[in-house]
Amino acid sequence: MMRTLIQTLLAPVVWVADKLGTSREVARDEAQQAEVDEACEALALYQFWSEPECIRVRREITRLGLSIETRDARLDPEHGQTLKEQGGKLQVPCLYIREASGEERWLYNAQRIIDYLRRHFGE
């Protein structure tokens, strides 16, 4: 209860730090960025806005210059339900991946998500 209250109160500070404290580290030309943006349409990050591990993943998304939809599983009950029913558990961060074959994957754990993003979108 106290942790949730603290996270809620610090959310605006976290947002500012997240936006201003992270710079893009990957440079792409326009065509390359368009390809990356298209690939990112098959991804969604299920997260809680002020959860530290989710912040880590969002910062990596910024560093890599990715446009990945974020879905707050705490604030939007529909996203929470989807994560629990389709992903198998209500745990964040979780990266939803729709493969080219149509197969759906749910990748849990911040470090595993970061490793996946670096492998697929890093230089």
What is the number of other CB atoms lying within 10 angstroms of the CB of residue 41? 11
pLDDT of residue 24: 72
Global pTM reads 0.81
Q: Could you give the percent of the chain with pLDDT greater than 90?
A: 75
By three-state DSSP, how is residue 100 classified? coil
Mean pLDDT calculated for residue range 116-121:
97
* Mean pLDDT computed over every residue of the chain: 89
Q: DSSP state, 109?
A: S
pLDDT in tens, 17-32: 555 556 778 889 899 9
Residue 116, C-beta contacts closer than 8 angstroms, at least 6 positions apart: 95, 97, 107
pLDDT of residue 14: 57
Mean pLDDT calculated for residue range 85-106:
96
Mean pLDDT calculated for residue range 66-90:
97
